Every structure is written in structure tokens, then in C-alpha cells.
Amino acid sequence: MEQSDAPAGRPSPPGAEPAELAGRLRAVIQQLLPLLRGRQRHRNLTPSRTAALAALAAHGPLRISELAARMNIALSTTSRMVDLLDTCGWIARRPDPADQRASLISLSADGLALLRAVRRETTGVLRERIALLPPDRQRLLHEALPALEELVEGEQPPPRGEPSRPDRPRGAGGARGGDGTL
């Protein structure tokens, strides 16, 4: 019997199956994201636009095609989103020195300020929730962070110009340090 949709409050037995852990993690994430997104006061900032700004903060400047690959969305969708981000004044475009026909996209000062504000707001929401947990649960959450960071690092495309290296040790990139979207 698969228990992937088990309530998040129920502890997993030692050596829990990856399928059960995956289901429970997915369920928690699906509940956390609306909580965080619902508190945003920035009308024009959708989750995908926030993700694009975060990707540019962490890995930019990038070509539109590189941003599309990092976000795992279609190039045409990314191009339209970049146009919207540009219209809002959240990004800057400049010619790519390696190919004058292409542009590099980076955060503008306004885009960086907006991303920092969103991160402060969402961190505040999580801080309030975490503060309600008993100290032993806070410790468990802290101990789980390296494993969660490794899950994210394992899916990042290689930096521009660097070939993919499947033999790279997990976690070699270090802690994300707030480079995530929210």
C-alpha cells in the first residue's frame, strides 16, 4: 500500500521508502507555496517571474535560452516573460560580448530590490511558522536542510560554457544561501 500522500505531521519510520518521502515532501511543498505566494504584495510578480528573477540573481547574466533551460520552460515562453520583466524595469539587457546578435539578461537595481523584498517577506512568513515549532522539531528541520539543498543542486544545469559533469559530488555547490525563488 503506497503512503505517499500521508499527512505531513506523521513521522516516517527509519529507512522510509523514497516513494513515501517523495509523496510527503511533495504534499508539504504544495501546501507551503500557496502560503508564501498568498502573502506577496507585488501585483505584477507571478511565481514564474519570481523564479526568473531568482535564476538571474543566482546565475546571471544569462542569454534567454540559458534562462529557459534553467527554468525548464519553452524558449518562446521565456522570451515573452523577459519582455514583461523588461517592461516592469526589473531586468537589464546588454549585447553578449561572445555574440553581438544575442543579448545577456541580468537583474536591474529595481529587480534586485524587488527580489530582496519578496525574500524578506516570505522568510518572515516561514520564520513565524518555524518559531511555533518546538525546539526539537526546529532542530530536525535544520538537520534536513542539507539533504533538501542537495535535491535542488542535483537538478541545476551546468554554468554557461561548463560541460555537464555527472560525476560531480552531490552538494559540491555548497548551501544555496537564499538563491531559491522564494
For domain 47-108, the question of CATH label 3.40.50.10310 is answered with no
Q: Which residues, including other chains, have CB under 8 Å from residue 177's CB and lie 6 or more apart?
A: none
Domain with CATH 1.10.10.10 in the chain: 47-108
Are residues 75 and 161 in contact, defined by beta-carbon separation less than 8 angstroms?
no
Residues 52-106 have pLDDT tens digits of 999 999 998 999 999 999 999 999 999 999 999 999 999 999 999 999 899 999 9
What three-state secondary structure class fits 109?
helix
**Which of 107-111, 166-170, 175-179 has the highest average model confidence (pLDDT)?**
107-111
What is the SS3 assignment for 32? helix
Neighbours of 31 (CB within 10 A): 10
Instruction: Give the rounded percent of residues in the chain with a pLDDT score beyond 90.
Output: 55
- Cis preceding linkage at 146, omega within 30: no
